[in-house]
Structure 1
Amino acid sequence: MKAHEYILSKQITWALKQGIALIGSKGQRGRRTYASTLEQNLFEPLEPEVRNSFEQGDGNEINGNPDSPAKMQAVHSSSAMGVNIFQYWQKIGQVPEIAAACGFCGKGDNISQKIVFEDKYPVGGKRFRFAPNIDVVIHNSDSAKVRRFAVECKFTEAYSSHGHSGLKEEYLKLDHIWSDIPNLHSLAKSICPDDKKFFHLHPAQLIKHILGLKAHFGKEGFELLYFWYDFLGEEGATHEKEISTFTEIANADEIKFHALSVQELIIALSNEYRSDYPEYIQYISGRYL
């Protein structure tokens, strides 16, 4: 079975076990892979600030109707996965703990203050209509050397048959932003305008996040995590190799970039916090492991 179908089938099975009635992407039409309501697809309802972040985002993640459910209602939504895993730590005031679990900092470091979803860091002024939306961004104290811990979440997208876009040529025209990242610049040129090098990883998206974060905080002021869903099989192995390739290129330019699988994080959280937060651990383990 292909990775995309396997992961999707697991999520459908999870929903049915919870007694969640699934609908299609067009309500009564399309494959039934969407929860009837947004709340059914989440561990806890969206906090007001989180809801506002998604309403301000460009992805139209939470606005839907009975004939066209919101993107986040999809059981295979990476946005829903991000909310289910990260929002809880903001709610209970334990942001440093999830930052440490993600490998951004050591346990006991208290620089991390809040979690923002769909955060935007434009690059190139008004040259581009939309600024890339970063799935999850941990904001650190103003006195911290690293001001932002950013997370790009991937669930089924990396295993889709639809492919992904390359980097628009307009980005390469911004000469000033490439001078201190020559290796990423070379990669950017090789995937412009089409990406025929990577099958699962979407490097153009990661490069845009890096450019935006670098423009606002400098090379030393941010770290970027690729948070991906692993799959035991050829597709997962290829995905992991592509991640390693990109990591080497980014690190060669002294960009703080690393990857962590969803499964690795959940297992680590389970080992550390099962007795403290049993309902949360049971939910994310039962759904995403």
Structure 2
Amino acid sequence: MSNPYSDLDRPPLHATALRRALVRPGGLWTALDVVPRTGSTNTDLRERSTGAPEGTVLVAEEQTGARGRLDRRWSAPPRSGLFFSVLLRPEVPPARLGWLPLLAGVALATALSRAAGVDTALKWPNDLLLTVGGEERKAAGILAEATPDGAVVLGIGLNVSLRADELPVPTAGSLALADALTTDRDPLLRAVLRSLADWYERWREADGDPVACGLQAAYAAGCSTLGRQVRAELPGDAELIGEAVALDGDGRLVLVTPGGAQEAVGAGDIVHLRPVPHPEERQGGSGDE
């Protein structure tokens, strides 16, 4: 049985109109292609990165082998979201490259707040959350990968029109389920790419300094991980539990452990545990989230 969304509520993206709106002399975006189906836009762009100009954008209507962090796989119906990757060649100190996925999160949150009228929250380091039915749900993921020639491919996957019965896991969400003002993917993609270009250029002009360009403050303001008890699942099957209190200058998450020590986490999965109550609210408590 055909999907009733396939033609009516999930029209294809208009590649020509997108190029006309986004690819301009002097701008960041230099090329934009939309393909009907591929395994992974990140993989495709990495394979053709040598000689490709900065600002190349590859969008897929459907991804069959999309990957998240730790090589996790996920899928979504055709034309139900925005699945795209961009090629960047940032000339900034290598230690500051860890800010790129955080920058993408801020850019995505900024664009969706304006274009879709939704409240967003950032979960360190790679997820964007939306409120669905009073609960935070993951609606977008970000993946940054280095290329053999020293560039960075930044991939974003955003659930736009997914219904509840189409979600890959119960903790996922979409713009439609969050009552967004629009699920029209063309203006949403334009808004996201313009916001990404704005934040990237500000960050690059500041030589990658997250404080000078306002990125560190913007991420901290929109990050729901900060101020919470979290469990960091680290490489090598190690884990660390503590209160997430800050981001350091390299974009790492700083935890205060129960013993009072500060530990900076640069890689790993973060699980949100119960919120940290204010001193006057420390009577009682709530379960894990």
TM range (shorter): under 0.3
TM-score, normalising length: structure 2: 0.27
TM-score (normalizing by structure 1): 0.27
